[in-house]
Structure 1
Amino acid sequence: MPEAPRFSARTIGIGAAVVTVGVWTAFIVIARASAGRSLAPFDIAFARICGAALVLLPWGAWLVTRARAEGSAADSFFGLSPLPLRLTALAGVFGGLAYALLAYTGFFFAPASHAAVLMPGSLPLWTTLLAALVLRDRITPLRALGLALIVLGDLFVGGASLLHALDGGAVWKGDLLFMGAAFSWACYSIVVRRHGLEAVRATIAITVFAFVTFVPAYALLAAAGLVTSRLASAPAGEILFQMLFQGVGSVVISGIAFTRMIQYFGPVRSTMITALVPGLSALGAVAFLGEPLYWNLVAGVLLVTAGILFGVQRSGAAGGRPVAAVAVAGTPGGRIDG
C-alpha cells in the first residue's frame, strides 16, 4: 500500500489560512444572498445550529466519555458538552445564540458590504474595550490608533444610514444588528480568554447549548405559528445547503482551519491575514450580489483594515497576546484559540 502523502507544516498553515479567509468571506456574501430567498433569519440560524450539531454533538459525547473514563470529567447537558454547565451556558448565550440571531437578522436589512466592514471591523474594537474593563488589559498607544481608525471606518459605512433613520429606511437596523453581533462575539471572546477555554471544547459547548435550548423551542413555536418561519415551505435543498455551509462549513471547518493557522502563523500574523476579510467580502458583494461600491464603503474598508493591522502590532511595553488577535479569531465562523 502506498503511503498517504504528508504535507509540510508550511503547506498546512498556508492551506488553513486560505480556507479560513475563504469561508469567512463566503459567510458574509452567502448570508446576504440567503436573505433574498426562502428562509427567515431565525430559520438560517436553526439550520446553522443543526448542521454544526451533526458533527459536534457526537464529538462532544466522545470527549466526555473519554474524560469520564479517565476520571476527569466536568461535563453538562446530558454528557454532550465537555464544559461545566455555567461555562457552557455563558459561552453559549453569546457565541452560540446571540451572535447568529443578530447577524442573520442584520442581513435582512443591510447589504453585505456593510456587514463586511461592521462585523469584522467592530469586533476588535469591542473586544479591546471589554478586555480593558474585565481583564484589565492595557490599551497601548498603537492599539488606540488602530481602534480610532476602526471607529472612523465604521462611521464612514454606517453613519449615513443612521442619519437617515428617520427617513423610513431600514439599513440602519442592519448596521446596528451587525454591531450587536460583533459585540456578542466579543463577549464570547472574553469568556474564552478569562477561563482559558480550549478551542474545540468551546466550539462544541456553544453548539450543544444552542441545540438543546434553541432548536426544540423554535421548532415548537414555528409549528404552533407563534413565530415567523418558512422552514415548512422552503425547498429541502436550500435547508440542506444552509446546514452544510453555515453549520459544517462556517462553524466546524473554519474552526479547525483557524486553529491550524494559529498554530503555524501565531495570533498576530493570523490576524493580519484575516484583515483581508473586509475588503474581499466587500468586493464579493459587488461581484456576486451587484451591490454598488460607493466611495464611503471603499474608505471604510481601508480604514478598518488599517485599524486591524495597527491593532495587532506589538509594542515594546506591551506583553502577552494582542487583544485584537483574539478578537478577530471569532469573526463569522472562526473559533477562538483560547
Structure 2
Amino acid sequence: MRFSPRAIGLLAAVVTVTIWTGFIVIARASAQRTLTPFDIALLRIVGASLVLLPWGWWMVRRRTAALGADAPPSSLAGLSPLPLRTTALLGSFGGLLYAMLAYAGFFHAPATHAAVLMPGSLPLWTALLAAWLLRDHITPLRAAGLALIVAGDLLVGGRSLLAAFSGGDVWKGDVLFMLAASCWATYSVLARRYAVDAVQATIAITAFACLVYVPSYALLIALGAVTSHLAIAPWSEIVFHMAFQGGGSVVISGIGFTRMIQHYGPVRSTMITALVPGLSAIGAVIFLDEPMYWNLVAGLLLVTAGILLGVLRKSQAGMAAIPSTPASGRTAP
C-alpha cells in the first residue's frame, strides 16, 4: 500500500510534533521517579546508539567500497561518517551537553517552564549565533520576533529568579533549560557552517556521545563521584527510556522532521513546530497537574508569536536548526 506525499508529510508532522511534545512531558515525569539525569542521558545515548552506530558503520564501509581512496574521511573507527574534528565539535554540543543540561533541568523546574524556555528560546540562540558565526543578517521583522521571545522568556524565568531570594531553586532548572537550548543552537549553527548532512550529523554525534559518555559515566560511578539508580530502577522504566529517549527523540524525530521539510518546506515546517511550546504546556497541566500561572500563559503567547513572526520571512535563514537537503533535515530535541 502506497501513501500519497501529502499523507506522508502530514503523518511526519504529527509524529514530529508529538515526539517533541512528549519529550518535555515525559522527561519531567521521569525526574519524579527512579532514575537520575545522568542515568536518563545514558539510556538516551545507548538507545540511539543501538540503531545509529550500525547504520554509521554500514554507511562508511559502503562509501569506502564504492569510492576507495576518494571516500570522504570518517572517524571513531569507522562509526562516524564525519571527520574527527567535526564529530567532536558537533558531538560535544549536540550529543553530550544538550542531553545532560536538559535532563538536569527537569529535576529543578516544571515542564511548563521547559515548554517555553527550550523550544521557545531555540530560535533566539540560533539567530544570534548564526549572526556571529555565519554573518547572517537579522532583519527588522525577525528582530521583532526575537524581542517577543526574550520578553516571553523573562516573564517565565523572571519569577523563578525572584523566588531564589526566598530559597526557591526553580531558577536553576530555568537556567539549565536556556543553556540546553543554547547548546543545541550551537550544534545547529556549526552543522550549517560545516554543511554536513543531517543524517550523518545525527550518527556522528551519537557515536561521539557513546564513546565518550558511556566510559566516563562508568568511571564516575566506580569512583563514587556520581550517583546511579539504574540498579534499583525497574526494567520497564529502563527499556522505555532507551526506546523513547533514544529511538524516539533522536532517531524517529530526525526522520520525521526530514519528511516534514521535504513536503512542507522549511518555513511552513517551522511554523508547525511552533505548536510544541503550547502543546507541551497543556500536556504538563493535564498529565502532570502542573499549575498554569498568568506569567506562563503570557510568556507562552509571546514566545509562540515571536516564533511565528520570525518565520514569516521567505528564506530559512537562522530559524531552522540544520538546512535541509534533498535527503535530510534535523532539529531538536
Q: The TM-score by the shorter chain falls in which range?
A: over 0.9
Q: Which runs of 4+ in 1 moved over 6 A?
A: none
Match of 1:321 in 2: 316
C-alpha distance in structure 2 between counterparts of 1:292 and 1:75, whole Å: 49
Match of 2:277 in 1: 278
Match of 2:151 in 1: 152
Match of 2:133 in 1: 134
C-alpha distance in structure 2 between counterparts of 1:39 and 1:328, whole Å: 35
When the two structures are aligned, how many residues end up with a matched partner?
325
Match of 2:259 in 1: 260
Maintained 8 Å contact 1:91/1:191: yes
C-alpha distance in structure 2 between counterparts of 1:224 and 1:8, whole Å: 55
TM-score, structure 1 normalization: 0.94
Match of 2:22 in 1: 26
C-alpha distance in structure 1 between counterparts of 2:44 and 2:10, whole Å: 27
Maintained 8 Å contact 1:268/1:312: yes
Q: CA deviation at 1:165?
A: 1.5
Pair 1:228-2:227 in alignment: yes
Match of 2:303 in 1: 304
Pair 1:53-2:23 in alignment: no
Match of 1:8 in 2: 4
Match of 1:188 in 2: 187
User: Which runs of structure 2 are paired with 1:67-106 in the superposition (5 Å)?
Assistant: 67-70=63-66, 71=68, 72-106=71-105
Q: Deviations over 1:86-141 (max 9, x none)?
A: 00000000000000000000000000000000001111001100111111000000
Match of 1:248 in 2: 247
C-alpha distance in structure 2 between counterparts of 1:328 and 1:30, whole Å: 28
Maintained 8 Å contact 2:192/2:322: no
Which consecutive unaligned segments of at least 5 residues does structure 2 have?
none
TM-score, structure 2 normalization: 0.95
C-alpha distance in structure 2 between counterparts of 1:322 and 1:287, whole Å: 35
Maintained 8 Å contact 2:320/2:331: no
C-alpha distance in structure 1 between counterparts of 2:32 and 2:281, whole Å: 18
C-alpha distance in structure 1 between counterparts of 2:320 and 2:53, whole Å: 28
Q: Deviations over 1:30-58 (max 9, x none)?
A: 00000000000010000000000000000
C-alpha distance in structure 2 between counterparts of 1:119 and 1:157, whole Å: 12
Maintained 8 Å contact 1:56/1:207: yes
Q: CA deviation at 1:223?
A: 3.4
Which consecutive unaligned segments of at least 5 residues does structure 1 have?
none
Q: Deviations over 1:252-284 (max 9, x none)?
A: 001000011001111100000000000000000
Pair 1:36-2:35 in alignment: no
Match of 1:120 in 2: 119
Please tell me the residue identity of whatever aligns with 2:284: A
Q: Say which SS state the counterpart of residue 323 (structure 1) adopts.
A: coil
Please tell me the residue identity of whatever aligns with 2:50: L
Q: Say which SS state the counterpart of residue 150 (structure 1) adopts.
A: helix
